[in-house]
Chain A
């Protein structure tokens, strides 16, 4: 049992972390909210008048916002689709008895440790480049016209790059979940004549559902904020074809120096992320009681 003495000490030990995080959350966020109601441009700092809701109006009615919102959803959805399906298949494969399983695991996991700017540039230059990329060499060898991925299918190309980075994460988490499955139950169902498909849909998938939910939620949090991959490959272009909300806010604030408009966009991004976060917190909160 904790004594009063240790309880006081505990509170004392907890307070620095709490105060720092409180400051990190409240100070900049309230500044962003304040800025979002100002007409404030860094190029013309003399003007900082109250703007009311006009920044939000401007941001939400800008056609770029809808392009960015659609792109954000496509990017998150596309990457989730590839990584969840691919990750499940990969986890099922790696759960089998394989010679050299440890090495295969290492090979599969490796892309997750590559920094975003490196993976984006390697894919952009050495694979997707229409003149010198490997895909272009392959197309020419087959007598086909090389395809300029980042010019003609920029968002799709970025989805592929990001999916390559996150596939190992999904596979690793799902593999960890698979390994906690009750093997006796699987053997019993096999003896009762259940085929591989019915075993997958009635035993494996329900067992994985929790891990899949966690993967979806955590990836969504990170994928909503994809930035470096867009910055070094397409700069959001051509036009707004590969701009997501994170990149749009960055461009508005640090390229056009529009603090008011950028802040309004930042607050909108926070609201969107919160919707996802609520679901994730419920999942993790449940686990805390167990």
Chain B
């Protein structure tokens, strides 16, 4: 078989894959390394990769100067809050469409998907004005509401594709045994649905954490999550590479770790089940 020459090939392919992988990852690695440098070393020429005096002072200073943890907790509250609220609305909806399909179920699903395709600038002005008039501008509540609605179609779709895979015969069997609707939900469906719900939660926390249209346009200082806080480093006086790197590292680290767990769900969730 042709597989016998494959050892040398595997070495070449491995080296190539590692080189490309490291190149793609390099900007993130560089950011993490720079966060441990002093400001002077961060812009030194020629720059050094590892040989510098490692320091943690940037992390302390970012917190001290700009109250970093307020923005961090804004991010946590907004992304987790909007995801949980979304799940609360989406679980019953996806459950009913997956197990009690009606004639129009497909149309309803497609229509829900179509709301996700509405470009945000199409509704920017009304939302901005409504928020201004109701005092929701620059509040965490306001962002939780908007991000819940923005991600609701994705949440429903993801749950629907998971629920659809739960075999209907199990339900019929439990119904024959005389189970009521609520017994069915609590004892039969919930245990089978938990993995799907968990992956949906994971992916949507990631999406909400990184959302950068509404968070930038609807917050100022108070409710600004990390996306908006980091954006404030774009001003010229914010050209402190080491501090920018420290703030960035802390902003992306939790999501990088969550993201690595969600690789498979990512494909299913973001293609609305079209690629599995």
Bound-complex Cα distance A116 to B227 (A): 8
Whether B24 sits at the interface, judged by CB under 8 Å, is: yes
Chain A residues at the B interface, C-beta cutoff of 8 Å: 1-2, 5-7, 9-11, 13-14, 16-18, 20-21, 24-25, 27-29, 31-32, 35, 90, 93-94, 96-101, 103-119, 121-127, 132, 134, 137, 140-141, 164, 167-169, 172-173, 176-177, 180, 190, 210-211, 214, 218, 221, 224-225, 227-228, 231-233, 245-246, 249-250, 253-254, 259, 262-263, 265-267, 269-270, 272-274, 276-277, 280-281, 283-285, 287-289
Name the one of B9, B28, B251, B271 contacting A111, with C-beta atoms under 8 angstroms.
B28
Determine if B2 and A190 form an interchain contact, defined as CB atoms under 8 angstroms apart: yes
Bound-complex Cα distance A214 to B2 (A): 34
Bound-complex Cα distance A232 to B230 (A): 9
Known: A11-B96, A121-B230, A169-B270. A114 touches B113 (CB 8 A): no
Q: Is the interface of A mostly helix, strand, loop or mixed?
A: helix
Which B residue's beta carbon lies closest to that of A8? Answer: B100
For residue B18, which residues in chain A have a CB less than 8 angstroms away from its CB? 98, 100, 104
A243 nearest CB across to chain B (Å): 12
For residue A177, which residues in chain B have a CB less than 8 angstroms away from its CB? 275
Determine if B123 and A126 form an interchain contact, defined as CB atoms under 8 angstroms apart: no
Bound-complex Cα distance A99 to B17 (A): 9
Q: What are 20 residue pairs bridging A and B, where the CB atoms are less than 8 Å apart in the complex?
A: A2-B99, A17-B89, A17-B156, A98-B17, A103-B21, A109-B260, A113-B255, A115-B210, A115-B252, A121-B248, A122-B30, A126-B27, A126-B241, A132-B45, A169-B270, A214-B274, A225-B121, A232-B233, A246-B120, A288-B106
Determine if A17 and B130 form an interchain contact, defined as CB atoms under 8 angstroms apart: no
> A10-B102, A20-B89 are known contacts; what are 18 more A-B pairs with Cβ within 8 Å?
A11-B96, A17-B152, A28-B127, A29-B123, A90-B20, A105-B21, A108-B25, A117-B227, A117-B228, A118-B251, A167-B24, A169-B270, A176-B275, A218-B270, A225-B121, A231-B231, A262-B125, A269-B119
List B residues 66-116 near A (Cβ within 8 Å). 89-90, 92-93, 95-97, 99-100, 102, 106, 108-110, 112-116
Known: A2-B100, A107-B24, A141-B46. A93 touches B13 (CB 8 A): yes
The 8 tightest CB contacts between A and B, nearest first, are A13-B92, A10-B96, A228-B212, A113-B259, A31-B126, A17-B93, A28-B123, A10-B100
Whether B234 sits at the interface, judged by CB under 8 Å, is: yes
For residue B259, which residues in chain A have a CB less than 8 angstroms away from its CB? 109-110, 112-113
Which B residue's beta carbon lies closest to that of A286? Answer: B274
List B residues 25-51 near A (Cβ within 8 Å). 25, 27-28, 30-31, 34, 43, 45-47
Determine if A228 and B213 form an interchain contact, defined as CB atoms under 8 angstroms apart: yes
For residue A114, which residues in chain B have a CB less than 8 angstroms away from its CB? 28, 210, 252, 255-256
Bound-complex Cα distance A173 to B206 (A): 17
Determine if A137 and B47 form an interchain contact, defined as CB atoms under 8 angstroms apart: yes
Bound-complex Cα distance A250 to B218 (A): 12
Whether B181 sits at the interface, judged by CB under 8 Å, is: yes
For residue A126, which residues in chain B have a CB less than 8 angstroms away from its CB? 27, 30-31, 34, 241, 244-245
Determine if A110 and B96 form an interchain contact, defined as CB atoms under 8 angstroms apart: no
